[in-house]
Each structure stands twice: as structure tokens, then as C-alpha cells.
Amino acid sequence: MKPQPYAPSNPAAKTTESSSHRIQVVINQPPQKAKEPQTMAENVRITANAGLANVFDELERLIGLQEAKRTMYEIYALLRMNQEREKHKLRIEKQVYHMVFKGNPGTGKTTVARIVGKICKEMGILSKGHLIEVERADLVGEFIGHTAQKTRDLIKKAMGGILFIDEAYSLARGGEKDFGKEAIDCLTKAMEDQKTEFICILAGYTDEMEEFLQINPGLPSRFPIQIHFHDYNVDDLMRISDLIITEKEYALSEAARDKLRHQLIRVKNDPFLFNFSNARYVRNMLEQAIRTHAVRMVKVHEPTVEQLMTIKAEDLVF
């Protein structure tokens, strides 16, 4: 008898045979719900376009400034709801976004003003979003009629963006016959006639700005948004110093950090120190430390990377 060739068993057949006796249990789980946003920052990331979300991220990265952040989220929420109201043919009123920023130097007023311009451009409030930063000398002329012309020219440059007037209260310091009053009158008229074409932000010390707003009965109503920029505490100032020093590719030694913290505590608790310059004070100290560090390093032959980067306590001079 001729031997039969070897034929392996059919595994598929076995599988089919054995699987016929199995009981399969299929559990249908309900679909997972998307996590609801917990903060306005998360809400913006989900609902805003990429450009606007990026600008709000820039705002969020700023240390402190909770009142300014909250105000910008309110404006965003209002614009979003106006879009929804428009779908249902509900009434929408044009908003005025002229602002007053009150606070000591170095509390982020100019930085926030720049971000406000970017946010308003992304939201369609402004066509350009650029910032024109001016002070009294840029607005006030030397003879009758000169001030009005200078002010109108700057307003024209600010069209589609923001006119940021620092130390705005100085416009009222010369009294009734001073040309500063002419600048205020010209500005007030432009804000009424072209109120949706640019945003005016007045900035300065808290008390002085509150007094300034009382000199003209029409001023407070033209600035519906007023934001107080609080002084930073010591922890916030240390975080700001870390950002500044890292950006410059330096590092503070532990001894330097301790010395800086003790200095900040001292000046913050000084009863005779008025109008503390906050982040500006920290930046100036660190820039001085970098210069002192450079003088120290000049004496070192072929310094290492660590030596070139490390700011020591001795470099901090107060």
C-alpha cells in the first residue's frame, strides 16, 4: 500500500468547532462625555480660533494681573454671546471699549495694553490692533491750535488700534489756561465721534487718575472699563525675576536668590517708599547684577559655561 503524504490538521476547523461551544458576553459601555472646561482659559481654548487662543495664552502667562485677565474674558464672553444673539435676531448694542488703567509703575499696564490690542483685533473689534504709546509732550503743543493738530494726528495714527496715554493726569496739571485742556477736549470729541474705530487707554497712578477723571464731567462715562493693577507681592516678584533671568540665559545661585528675596521684603515693607516700581525695580536690579557679573568675569581666564551663566550674591548690589 502506497503511503499517504503527511497532511497537517486544519486549525481553522478546530477553532470553529471549539468556538461553537463558547458563550461570548459583549458589554456596551456608554460613550465617555467630553470633559467640561473648568476655567475661562480652558473655555477660550475650546471655543476660540487658534489666533485668539494663542493671544489669550500669552495673557495667561503673565504673572498676577487677575483683574485685567477677568476683564478680557468678560469682553470675549460678551462677543461670543452677541454672535449667538445675532443668530436668533436678538438686539445687539455696540459696546465702547475705552479703558483706564490705574496702578503703580511696573505692574504690567503697557504690556497688557499691547495684548488688549491683539485680542481686540482677533475678535474683530479693531482692524489693526497696533499700539500708539504717547505722553503729555506728544499731545500738547506750544501755541494755540498746535495741541489740537498734534492730538488729531496721533488719533489718526491710532485708528484701528489703541492710543495708550501714559501718565494721562499730567494733561490737567497746568490749569484752565494750559494747552493740556485742549488736548483733553480734542480727545473727548474723537472718542465720541469715532468711538468704535479705535480704543483709548489712559494710564497712571491710582489716586492721580481718579482725580483726573473728575476734571471733565464727560470723561468717566467715556471710559466704561477701569482696571486696577495691584502691586506684586514678593513671591510674584521672585517669579518675575526667574522669567527675566532665564530669558537672558542666566541663573541665580541659591545665595543670590536669598539675597534678592530679602531685599524685596525690605523695600516692600519700607513705610517711606512710595510708588514702588514692582517688576521694573526687579528688572533694573537684575540688569545691574548682569553688568557687575560681567566685570567679575573679565578677570577670569577662559570662564566655563556655568561661570558665564551664574549670578552670585556678590553681583547683586543694592
Residue 313: the pLDDT is: 98
Structure confidence by residue, pLDDT tens digits, 55-65: 999 999 999 99
Distance CA 2, CA 115 (A): 93
Please write down the HEC assignment for all residues of 176-219. Answer: CCCCHHHHHHHHHHHHHHCCCCCEEEEEECHHHHHHHCCCCCCH
Average pLDDT of every residue of the chain: 88
Residue 16: the pLDDT is: 47
Interhelix angle 234-247/254-268, rounded to 10 degrees, is: 140
Query: Tens-digit pLDDT profile for the chain (318 aa)?
Result: 444 554 555 554 444 444 556 666 656 666 666 567 678 788 888 888 899 999 999 999 999 999 999 999 999 999 889 989 999 999 988 889 999 999 999 999 999 999 999 999 999 999 999 999 999 999 998 877 789 999 999 999 999 999 999 999 999 876 666 788 889 889 999 998 888 899 999 999 999 999 998 877 778 888 999 999 999 999 999 999 999 999 999 999 999 999 999 999 999 999 888 778 999 999 999 999 999 999 999 999 999 999 999 999 999 998
CA atoms within 13 A on the CB side of 177: 0
Task: Write the CB contacts of 111 (distance below 8 Å, at least 6 apart in sequence).
Answer: 62
Residue 39: the pLDDT is: 84
Cell numbers representing residue 134 in the block? 504717547
Which amino acid is residue 92, in one-letter code? I
Structure confidence by residue, pLDDT tens digits, 221-272: 889 999 999 999 999 999 999 999 999 999 999 999 999 999 999 999 998 8
Residue 312: the pLDDT is: 98
Cell numbers representing residue 129 in the block? 490692533
Q: Which residue has the cell 456608554?
A: 30
Interhelix angle 278-298/254-268, rounded to 10 degrees, is: 140
